[in-house]
Amino acid sequence: MASSRPNFTGQIPRSSGRGRPLAVALLMLAFCLSGCAGSPVDNATIGSLPPLQLGDATLTVADAANRVPRAELLSVDEPMRQFVARYTIDQSDQRLRLMSLHQAVRGAGGLDMQYDPSAEGSAREVFQRGFANCLSYANLFVALAREAGLDARYQWVEVRPQWSRVGERVQVGLHVNVLVRLPNGTHYMVDIDPLPARKIAASRELSDAEAEALYYNNIAMDALGRRELATAWYYLVQALQLSPANAHLWVNLGALYRSNGQHRQAEQSYLQALDLDGSEYSAMTNLAVLYGLEGRLQEQAHWLGRVDRHRQANPYYHAWQGDEAAAAGNWPAALTHYDRAVALLADDGHLLFSRGLIHYRLGDLDAAALDMERAIDVASLQTEIGDYRRQLDAVRKAQLAGAGLSATPRGA
């Protein structure tokens, strides 16, 4: 992700008469995680993992127990306590306390925290060095916010998938930020590298243990990239022991096995990921690649078919096709693709708004206004609502102009 200043986005409560708080996020979560109803996985399952065979060495789950020091991601020291006290002690209101703390972390007069995508670490390490990636920044802010008496939690954010121009490859981004809940029901997302709301496909809270598992997973994947397979094994096993139901970790375990030439173990790991989450796209594509390498063409064709059906059932795939058509100036085709996307996910504010823009380009102002009104109704972020209302105002002015009317000035 591109570097940016730390940021937080307020999420406003909505009245019961118009819209529903977090409606879009909850509906998207139901879509993206609808397959997560497989057999439960516990530490007994992790304990029986096939060992990693490295030449003459056999690495077992037990070997990992003493090789990975337990991270203390949220521990604070006296300088951190003094920092929190200095910037929040005079703030009895939790919202002001949050804002003061955030400004102190991001501001040049405070920590002046900088983004570095490779900067893993605990809250104390980040506090001392002044740069972090999304997960290590979350470690820092959760620790400081809790020290300030705020209800701060990790949040898993799933980025909308991005397809290649031929629609055959997909990149699924995962991101971690902080969710702070205030007593009045308002909540804020705090992030060192904020995502535009339109790019967020789903979000859910993470337990501290799940966040720690992601920390170990990142170390494991860095090690795998350097072909340090033993280190990757130790850290990935530790991650799975903390978060055994995380399908993404099982896909990464499969990648480790496959990298080591253990294809049957890789296959089992990918299938375990799909048992946990039947919509796990990476597991499907990795199985297709594995079977292709082994010449198991019938099984490869099966999983390629599953991949295609998954893609066709994904509203963001059709939205991507619509964006491609719009970029080529083919607005009727763009509308067809967005109609499919909205049919699959009817209460997604960004999909509705994007379709409204297409209607606007096609000259159908009534349809454009209707989609934008619906987008405003389901949106929950202030920035989204403001953007949608400004465009809706432009559409309404165009409607009045087309009807030969003029807008009545306010207060007239």
Q: Which of 278, 282, 275, 304 is nearest to 291 (CA)?
A: 304
pLDDT (tens digit, 0 to 9) for every residue of the chain, 412 residues total? 333 333 444 332 322 333 222 222 222 222 222 233 345 676 778 989 999 999 999 999 999 988 998 889 999 999 999 999 999 988 889 999 999 999 999 998 899 999 998 899 999 999 999 999 999 999 999 999 999 999 999 999 888 776 654 444 555 567 899 999 999 988 899 999 888 777 777 789 999 999 999 999 999 999 999 999 999 999 999 999 999 999 999 999 999 999 999 999 999 999 999 999 998 989 999 999 999 999 999 999 999 999 999 889 989 899 989 999 999 999 999 999 999 999 999 999 999 999 999 999 999 999 999 999 999 999 877 778 899 999 999 999 999 987 655 444 333 3
- Taking the complete model, does pTM exceed 0.75, yes or no? yes
Could you give the CA distance from residue 382 to residue 9 in angstroms, rounded to a whole number?
A: 8
* Tens digits of residue pLDDT in 109-160: 899 999 998 899 999 999 999 999 999 999 999 999 999 999 999 999 888 7
Residue the block writes with tokens 């199985």: 287
Q: Give the integer Cα–Cα distance in Å for 278 and 275.
A: 6
The tens digit of pLDDT for each residue in 175-216 reads 899 999 999 988 899 999 888 777 777 789 999 999 999 999
- The strand order across the sheet containing 174-181 reads 7-11, 187-191, 174-181, 151-159, 200-206
Question: Judging by DSSP bridges, how do beta strands 170-171 and 200-206 pair with one another?
Answer: unpaired
Per-residue confidence (pLDDT) for residue 251, from 0 to 100: 96
Domains of the chain: 1-32+91-206 (3.10.620), 315-400 (1.25.40.10)
β-partners of residue 57 are: 54
- Using CB atoms within 10 Å of the CB of residue 363, give its burial: 0 to 12 exposed, 13 to 18 middle, 19+ buried: exposed
How does pLDDT run across 228-239, given as a tens digit for each residue? 999 999 999 999
Cβ distance 180 to 98 under 8 Å? yes
Name 167's bridge partners.
none
Helices (H), 313-347: 315-327, 331-344
Based on C-alpha coordinates, what's the Rg of the chain? 24
Task: List, in order, residues 6 or more apart from 27 with CB less than 8 Å away.
Answer: 345, 347, 348
